[in-house]
Amino acid sequence: MNLLVTLDSKYIRPLKVMLTSLFMNNPDEHFNIYLIHSRIKDDEIADIERFIEKHRQKLSVIKIDNSYFQNAPEVFHYPKEMYYRLLAFKFLPQELDRILYLDPDILVINPVREFYNTKLDGYLYAAAYHDILAVKKINRIRLYPYKIEAYFNSGVLLMNLELQRKHVDEETIYSFVEKNRSKLIMPDQDIINALYSKQIKCVDEKLYNYDTRYYKYYKAITNNACDMDYIMKNTVFLHFCGRKKPWHKNYSGKFHSLYKQYEKWAITDAAT
């Protein structure tokens, strides 16, 4: 399976935790991991390489020269890395037909094979949206006049690279950013939603992009069906959304101890 990550140095440790959980819960799979970056130092790259090698998986590092994005508008303090996810198909080997993009603030707690094989006929992506009422409404207003039926979360994106090469256009993206600069909060996610939401295949957030902040909410709206048992058995991607991260000192949350356990294994490699 092809896996895509794009990050900077601050996220190397969460990346290792995410990958540890992926490997532990997909013991028989082989992953081709593509890391797109521009500013990670050589010794840090070497460290990531060692980590991946120890797990007998394959890493390809794609370093982007920022001159590439000379014409791309910047938004606030968001660096041009925000475009990597959107335009990954330009930098990845042309023979790849699909790839799974994952944010590093994720735990993978079940096999990913079924999701990876999702039929993508005619869709650019498969993704989940977080069905929290307030969030939906705010985004619909914010990104008006772009019609947002659902505001997809871009932390887990199964990408149809073949179709993206035909339909995703760099200039369209840049001009969207120029025009909406003041509205954008999470630029890459906003772009995907405003420009492509009709071409995103919607998948179940409880399975493929479980927002760890909303345990009680998910449980309530499913009549208690989506409890801890259900999650451990079925959920593939636990996404630690929001500003408070489980690797921060004063984090508190339902999946704190679980995250810390994987973090420990990521560091000690005791479980490999």
Q: Is 255 in the site for its own copies (CB under 8 A)?
A: yes
One residue of 46, 60, 227, 244 binding its own copies per CB under 8 A: 227
Total residues contacting its own copies (rule CB under 8 A)? 24
Cross-strand pairs, 4: 34, 101
Nearest residue (CB) to its own copies, 91 versus 251: 251
Nearest residue (CB) to its own copies, 23 versus 84: 23
CA–CA dist 188, 190 (Å, integer): 5
- What's the first-to-final CA gap in the chain, in angstroms? 20
Residue in 111, 129, 115 with CA at minimum distance from that of residue 159: 115
Q: Which stretch binds its own copies (CB under 8 A): 77-85, 115-123, 198-206, 257-265?
A: 257-265
Q: Which stretch binds its own copies (CB under 8 A): 75-83, 141-149, 182-190, 259-267?
A: 259-267
Output the CA angle 51-54-55, nearest 5 degrees.
95
Q: Is 254 in the site for its own copies (CB under 8 A)?
A: yes
Q: Is 25 in the site for its own copies (CB under 8 A)?
A: yes
Q: Which stretch binds its own copies (CB under 8 A): 129-137, 142-150, 165-173, 227-235?
A: 227-235
DSSP 138: H
C-alpha pair distances (Å), 133 with each of 168, 206, 230, 254: 29, 15, 23, 21
Return the beta strands (E) in 68-137 as ranges: 98-102, 106-108, 125-129
Q: Is 218 in the site for its own copies (CB under 8 A)?
A: no
Residues that bind its own copies (CB under 8 A): 24-25, 27, 109, 227-229, 231-233, 249-251, 254-258, 260-261, 263-264, 270-271
